[in-house]
Structure 1
């Protein structure tokens, strides 16, 4: 039996972290949660993660800046950004920085399931 994909979840809102992790575990993914980009970077989880799901707006390092830092480090996994404050400018900046996709909060289970399937398996 193969090991489940590890999805790292970063959001400064604890309720979002817990709910998202629970949903992803119900899909069979392994999850690790982080309250900030700095906590994620300090953890070494970038060496283990298959995908990163991160909020755009957080204190300190935000999701787009984190994606840029990871690209500079040549991290191979897809980054999916989540935002409650979407818009075409933000979406354009995020995708230009290398994000796999931008999801508007709140999103449903089918949306995140399909997004992760495409990010991890390419279909």
Structure 2
């Protein structure tokens, strides 16, 4: 495991942020949480992040737009999308690049952690 890896969690639902923060910290990761996309974009988070976990549906800016904004700034992070939409099967069609993974809520902690580990190992 990449214990020095910083995982950013962007979700407007505080309970999801807290749960992911707890899960990721207990797995040895450094974690920063953000209540929205703008909060993440206008922080040092994009420069420090090894992997981004972002909700797709958020009120200030959705996850797909966040993904595109990062790319426009030349920041290419692996992104794992999560969503509370029970009917979602994959990210919306307007996503020009493919995210690393997509997890409908509730998701398996084990599968999420395995996905993060795979992403981080591929970056090294």
Report the TM-score when normalising by structure 1. Answer: 0.88
5+ residue gaps, structure 1, are none
1:78-101 deviation digits (Å, cap 9, x = unpaired): 01110121524x435376433111
Structure 1 equivalent of residue 44 of structure 2: 44
Q: RMSD over aligned Cα, in angstroms?
A: 2.0
For these two proteins, the number of residue pairs brought into alignment is 121
Q: Is the 8 A contact 1:91 1:102 kept in 2?
A: yes
5+ residue gaps, structure 2, are none
Q: Is the 8 A contact 2:10 2:17 kept in 1?
A: yes
Structure 2 equivalent of residue 120 of structure 1: 120
Structure 2 equivalent of residue 32 of structure 1: 32
1:44-91 deviation digits (Å, cap 9, x = unpaired): 210100010010000021001100111111213201110121524x43
Report the TM-score when normalising by structure 2. Answer: 0.88
Higher mean displacement: 69-78 or 25-34 = 69-78
**1:30 shift after superposition:** 0.3
Q: Once superposed, which parts of structure 1, at least 4 consecutive aligned residues long, lie more than 4 Å away?
A: none
Q: Is the 8 A contact 1:51 1:120 kept in 2?
A: yes
Structure 1 equivalent of residue 88 of structure 2: 87
